[in-house]
A and B are shown apart, each in its own frame.
Chain A
Amino acid sequence: MKRILAIVFILIIGFWMAKALDQVPFGEDRMLVGKYYLEHVKEETGAVNAVTAVVVNYRGFDTLGEVTVLFIASTGVAALLWRKKRERTAKTEGSVVLTTGARLLLPFIMLFGAYIFIHGHLTPGGGFPGGATIATAFLFLYLAFTVYEIDHKIFEPLEGLAGVGYVTVGLIGLAIGGYFLFDWIWQTWGIGRENIGRLFSAGFIPIIYTLIGIKVGTELTGIVDNMVKEPEEGGQ
């Protein structure tokens, strides 16, 4: 009874959504601001990847908010799962193939993650996919080994420092250019103006994406670390 009612209710909602979306034609050029971004992205930011330029440069506040959301989520997970004595839940060691494979694949995954966030202004990707790839490498370690644990003395300060670095880059822009997240490397210094499309271009986008990549990688690893532990029996 409940299911039938839910299905009817959902079909009514779906009908109205479909009716509204029929007014939006598919595959037609409706760009207004997007056209401006595509035409001016090269001389205004130096980035080849227009999505990266929009995310970091034109609408940098969105990314700052996004990083804040992720930071609050990782802090929240740590606060919700906080206990005095916590241990890994894994009891059985993985097979030899798994542990050896993890050990061999780890540097390749890390290298590829670093490649993704360093080349954010040239290729698809950027700080968030790169950071998630690096977190995958640590997740792999957590799954393959029963005793593995990240070094909390390095990870949490690194996470905070990367966030502080992002805000510092924005504040330097405020001091030089007059507004927060002003691209001072590109607009004022003009570094890399002659090699657009190469690695050393695009102003502060590679710097910010490296910081975001480190931050996202450490944050997602911290979330994984909190979730694979459980409180010891009897001790709360």
Chain B
Amino acid sequence: MNPYYFASIALILIGFYAVLVKRNVLKMLVGLSIMETGVNLLLISVGYVSGKSAPILSEGITPDKAVDPIPQALVLTAIVIGVATTAMALSVVINLYEKYKTLNVEEIRRLRG
């Protein structure tokens, strides 16, 4: 198994574990961010071509010496969307804490009911 694929699967699974098991909302968000990193690493490593350099065609790098630019453009988009969703989720968490004075999901569920 390739180390890059292995690392990205491991990151996705660690994030998923945090989302499933942790009770603190902030820790679940950390898990989501780790998952996101894993997905981005996976996308980038799928586009790698061994022995080739970055797709910036200056200083003697011809088109046949560059890696695939499309996954990199995709990940650029994905990172920004990840940051945006994380910011939204964090402000929801701030509101949640102001209202319930706790970040434990089970307690929040109990308090609401």
Q: What chain B residues lie within 8 Å of A49 (beta carbons)? A: 55-57
Residues of A19-67 at the interface with B, using a CB-CB cut-off of 8 Å, are 21-22, 24, 26-31, 33-35, 37-39, 41-42, 48-51, 53-55, 59, 62-63, 65-66
Say yes or no for A165: interface residue by CB 8 A criterion. Answer: no
Interface residues on B, range: 35 or more
Determine if A31 and B5 form an interchain contact, defined as CB atoms under 8 angstroms apart: no
Say yes or no for A128: interface residue by CB 8 A criterion. Answer: yes
Determine if B95 and A80 form an interchain contact, defined as CB atoms under 8 angstroms apart: yes
Q: Contacts A14-B9, A14-B13, A24-B46 known; A3 to B21 CB distance under 8 Å?
A: yes
Determine if B91 and A48 form an interchain contact, defined as CB atoms under 8 angstroms apart: no
Say yes or no for B66: interface residue by CB 8 A criterion. Answer: yes
Q: What chain B residues lie within 8 Å of A123 (beta carbons)? A: 56
Determine if A42 and B57 form an interchain contact, defined as CB atoms under 8 angstroms apart: yes
Determine if A76 and B48 form an interchain contact, defined as CB atoms under 8 angstroms apart: no
Chain B's interface: helix, strand, loop or mixed, by majority?
A: helix
Say yes or no for A6: interface residue by CB 8 A criterion. Answer: yes
Determine if A77 and B88 form an interchain contact, defined as CB atoms under 8 angstroms apart: yes
Determine if A81 and B95 form an interchain contact, defined as CB atoms under 8 angstroms apart: yes
Minimum C-beta distance from B88 to chain A (A): 5
Q: What chain B residues lie within 8 Å of A31 (beta carbons)? A: 49, 68
Closest to B69 in A: A50
Distance between Cα atoms of A10 and B66 in the complex (Å):
36
Chain A's interface: helix, strand, loop or mixed, by majority?
A: helix
Determine if A227 and B90 form an interchain contact, defined as CB atoms under 8 angstroms apart: yes
Most buried by B among A31, A59, A123, A220: A31
Number of A residues, CB within 8 Å of B: 61
Distance between Cα atoms of A83 and B90 in the complex (Å):
17
Q: What chain B residues lie within 8 Å of A124 (beta carbons)? A: 54, 56
Interface string of A70-112 (1 = CB under 8 A from B): 1011101100110000000000000000000000000000000
Determine if B76 and A17 form an interchain contact, defined as CB atoms under 8 angstroms apart: no
Q: What chain A residues lie within 8 Å of B111 (beta carbons)? A: none
Minimum C-beta distance from A35 to chain B (A): 7
Closest to A212 in B: B80
Partner of A28, one of B16, B45, B49, B76: B49
Residues of B49-90 at the interface with A, using a CB-CB cut-off of 8 Å, are 49-51, 54-58, 63-64, 66, 68-70, 72-73, 76-77, 79-81, 83-85, 87-88, 90
Q: Contacts A27-B48, A38-B55, A124-B54 known; A18 to B91 CB distance under 8 Å?
A: no
Interface string of B1-42 (1 = CB under 8 A from A): 110111001101100110011000000000000000000001
Question: What are 17 sample pairs from A and B whose C-beta atoms fall under 8 A apart?
Answer: A21-B5, A22-B1, A27-B49, A30-B68, A34-B68, A34-B69, A35-B63, A48-B58, A50-B57, A53-B69, A62-B77, A66-B77, A74-B87, A77-B87, A80-B88, A227-B90, A227-B94
